[in-house]
Amino acid sequence: MVVGDLDAEEKNITKILISIICLYGNDGLPLENLNDEFQTYCGFAIPYKKFGAESLRSWILTLPDIYLVLDNQNKEVLIQQSQKSTHIKQLILKQKSKYTCKRKSYDCYNKKYEKRQKKFDLDDLPEGSFLHTSINNRCINDSERFDKFHQLECMLPLLYKHQALGDDFFLDIADTKLGYYVPAMGPKECGLCTEGQTISGLTAKVKKAVHLAPRVVVMIGFQDLLWGQNVNNMIYDLRQLIIELKKKNTRVTLITLIPSPKLPKLKRLDTRMDIFNKAILDYACENELKCNVIDMNTIFLLEAESFRRDFDRFSKVAKNDPYKVFSDYGRKTFLSAIKSCLKKQIEAGH
């Protein structure tokens, strides 16, 4: 079939389609977007049924100079090949005024995008994503206000006006529930929450910290249990951590440890956790180093008891993410409890 075989209306619509396809260059126009693009230009849908076709696709296959091919993602796209290609690309200028088109040409943009593709690897970006033209704006990047931003970033993640300090538990919550950035590659960390962090390791970071929030909430010791640390050493290290936090003139809230699927079910570990948690509870009435305390262990025990289930309900974890220590139900229970407790503390003036 040639263009001359079409009636006047079908011939005119074909030329418009070719012009639209030309705007997309070598990438081709996705078939699923064709009708929307045409309607943007003309204000009405493609009347393919008027030309005796059962579907838009079957009608497109009868048109000259328009080819339906598969792209690298196995999606059907339309391309145009003709000796008149150069001339047809200019038709869009006339059609814009005829059909009150407001869409701007992508020819120049496509050329710039192709150059960027050579310089940047965009394979991991969603389809349709592009780089900002202001990405290398030195005037903004050199601004002193970024110093303040860095200061605030060091005090993340935040849990109801408290800076969270700890290990995998807080990191898991920050990543999956609070939307904080946790690097996919390299050490997993967010502020002073780090995967596999010990009590002494956190103490060292607190000593070096230039900025610390006026309120902090601390949950630490899980890694020490995993590594078989002596419970007396854990209690001593916790005291050193609290001393350093008090030196920073910050209000401290301690959280007792809870069972996790990552912690082997061994009686000696349960005993050590119980002793360590009791040492944490003692800081609620400590004269010199008094702290707020949230007994999360008891909260989880009561939660399991009220539903007549044991901690197996918390044992479903993502196998490919070894730093995750919660099931989704466990995360929701933990986050709901800690927010309620911290809110009550602030309202009570503690």
User: Using the 8-state DSSP alphabet, how is residue 210 labeled?
Assistant: S
Burial grade of 259 (CB within 10 A; 0-12, 13-18, 19 or more): buried
Mean pLDDT of 124-151: 61
pLDDT at position 81 is 64
Rounded CA gap, 58 and 52, in Å? 10
Mean pLDDT of the chain: 77
Using an 8 Å Cβ cutoff, are 246 and 252 in contact? Answer: yes
Top mean pLDDT of 8-17, 31-40, 269-278, 332-341 is at: 269-278
**299 vs 303: which has the higher pLDDT:** 299
Rounded CA gap, 331 and 82, in Å? 60
Rounded CA gap, 350 and 342, in Å? 9
Q: What percent of the chain has a predicted confidence (pLDDT) above 70?
A: 72
Q: Which of 97, 105, 83, 100 is CA-nearest to residue 19? A: 105
CA 231 to chain CA mean position, Å: 37
Mean pLDDT of 64-71: 79
pLDDT in tens, 223-267: 999 898 999 999 999 999 999 999 999 999 999 998 777 777 788
pLDDT at position 232 is 94
User: Using the 8-state DSSP alphabet, how is residue 105 labeled?
Assistant: P
In sequence order, what are the residues at sequence separation of 6 or more whose Cβ sits closer than 8 angstroms to the Cβ of residue 335?
173, 177
Rounded CA gap, 296 and 5, in Å? 79
* Count of CB atoms situated within 10 Å of the CB of 147: 8
pLDDT at position 131 is 57
pLDDT at position 125 is 64
* Residue labelled with tokens 């993502």: 318
Rounded CA gap, 324 and 176, in Å? 9
Phi, psi of 64 (to 5 degrees): -80, 150
With vertex at residue 256, the alpha carbon angle to CA 252 and CA 261, rounded to the nearest 5 degrees, is 135
Determine the 3-state secondary structure of 98 from DSSP.
helix
Burial grade of 118 (CB within 10 A; 0-12, 13-18, 19 or more): exposed
* Confidence grade of residue 30 (pLDDT, cut at 50, 70, 90): confident
In sequence order, what are the residues at sequence separation of 6 or more whose Cβ sits closer than 8 angstroms to the Cβ of residue 304?
310, 311, 313
Number of alpha helices (DSSP H) and beta strands (DSSP E) in the chain: 15, 10
* Confidence grade of residue 68 (pLDDT, cut at 50, 70, 90): confident
Q: Which two tokens stand for residue 127?
A: 């389809």
What is the pTM (predicted TM-score) of this model?
A: 0.58
Mean pLDDT of 285-294: 91
132, HSE (Cβ side, Cα atoms, 13 Å):
4
pLDDT at position 48 is 87
pLDDT at position 5 is 59
